[in-house]
A and B are shown apart, each in its own frame.
Chain A
Amino acid sequence: MSLSLSNKYITPKARHYLELLHVLVSRTLKVRYRGSFLGIYWSLLNPLIMTGLYTAIFGATFAKYYGGSILNYVLAALTGLIVINFFSASTSQALSSVVGNGALLNKIRLPVSVFPISMITANIFQFVMGTFPLLAIVALINSKSLINVVAIFLPFIALVMFCVGIGFFVSALYVFFRDLPYFYELVVFMLWISSPVFYPAEIVPKAVRPFLILNPLSPIIESLRQITLSGNLPDFMLIINALLSGILFAGFGWLYFHRSRSQFMDLL
């Protein structure tokens, strides 16, 4: 970030935005990890424990769908959970970010979008420090190719864009509807259960299966699994698929946020 700030061609407005992002993200991370022993690695603990739990319960039954190997099931569940976890953490934090800073927005003129963005940026930082090394090791062992390690970032970028879009959308909607968190919890659960995270897609009845494709997280999980687990070179069709839907959601979320922004101040 300090690199981009030293660029003198950047406009004062953009510079202030980046400065704001910097202090808000470091504030969020400091508050989150102050005095905690594991620090940033707490963010890894959740998917690891969940993976252990699923493996203990479903591992033996589902292993036959994963080439008879429990390890394959563990890795498939882990990659899925990492994606779902990133999504649910970053978007629910973004959801309350605008309303939570309402008092501040009433006192100082600030670009509102910096609040949801800062929440997602804090999660990106956590991912890069905590989860990425783990995924990189898995990808390196499976594919023995650095290309796959680098390619992990492509579905991740798609995931970030998807989260930015949803984060913008729900943070704006929460200004108008304060009971949104209850509904949103349900939506997250639906996305979570309908993406083949801990079960193989094959066990879903044929009639229901097409609906699973509607889940925007599916192409991201699929692409990440292909890169880290298959041992083949990255499949760019999958990546492009994921990126396109990410861009679509980001655009839609920003548009909604931007259009409703003028009404925020009356309700904060």
Chain B
Amino acid sequence: MEEAIRLGQVCLWRRTQEEFSYDLKKTVLSFFEGKYRQPAKKLVLDKIDLVVEKGEKIGIIGGNGAGKSTLLKVICGILQPTTGTVRVRGQIAPLIELGAGFDAEISVMDNILLYGVLLGFSRAEMQERARSILEFAELQDYELVPVKGLSSGMVARLGFAIATDVKPDILILDEVLSVGDESFRNKCQKRMDGFWDSHVSILVVSHSMEFIKQSCDKAIWLNKGGIELAGESEKVVTSYIQSVS
């Protein structure tokens, strides 16, 4: 088996936002009063070791604020670990909150190009794909309409269509699996099943234990930034449920 992701002893310290003063005036004043202090930092990920083989489906579980989304961000390269190493082989497709890169003022077509390039594709590639994306999202008639003229369901459909119209090596899911009305949900489900059956490595954060048990080979239970337990999804989910109840 080939390795897709390897994290070695990853630690991440972040500044806590709540006590941060975003104020130039206050900072300068406190500096003159001699009250200035270095902003406090908090350990959000604590010595995470993780190896994901190619094609593995891994579920990440844990309470709120356990560091699940942060871990995904580190793997995506959005956050740099303070110490430790992150190695990723292959292209990552992040599926975190669809439609984040849209600009409501410009047309659907322009948004397909914009979003695609933001996700790392070239404009030429996106122009070729635009047809199939519009078709999947069922928005062929809306090509030149600005996105603010679409309903929120349509925007979600468009986001899903662009983000999943790729053949990534690694797919990152943060609790977004299906959008839109009932018939579109089925389409989404089919496409996701397609990913699930292929050799794509998938990392998914979910609060649905049933889902994790059924669809993931392995699960990781995060607690206060550290790995509490990792292994077969059945086992991890069972002990997680026992610990909370």
Contact = CB atoms under 8 A, between A and B. Distances in A.
A27 interface: yes
A101 to B, nearest CB: 9
B117 interface: yes
B228 interface: no
Contacts, number: 81
Contact of B96 (A31, A107, A176, A263): A107
Nearest to B42: A266
B122 interface: yes
A24 to B, nearest CB: 8
Nearest to A21: B117
Interface in A98-121: 103-110
Nearest to B24: A177
A34 B107 CA distance: 11
B167 interface: no
A231 to B, nearest CB: 45
Chain A binding surface, main DSSP class = helix
Interface residues of A, number: 31
**Of listed B15, B27, B78, B146, residue having the most chain A CB within 10 A:** B78
A92 B25 CA distance: 19
B77 interface: yes
Contacts of B23: 177-179
A103 B100 CA distance: 7
B14 A266 contact: yes
B80 interface: yes
A104 B114 CA distance: 12
B103 A178 contact: no
Interface stretch (A12-20, A74-82, A156-164): A12-20
Interface in B1-39: 14-15, 17, 20, 22-25, 27
B171 interface: no
A16 B119 CA distance: 10
A30 B106 contact: yes
Given A20-B117, A110-B118, A27 B24 contact: no
A50 interface: no
Contacts of B231: none
Contact of A108 (B14, B80, B101, B123): B101
Contacts of B114: 23-24, 27
Contact of A107 (B17, B25, B78, B117): B78
Contacts of B24: 177, 179-180, 183
A266 B100 contact: no
Contacts of A178: 22-23
7 contacts: A19-B122, A20-B117, A22-B117, A31-B106, A106-B73, A179-B25, A267-B17
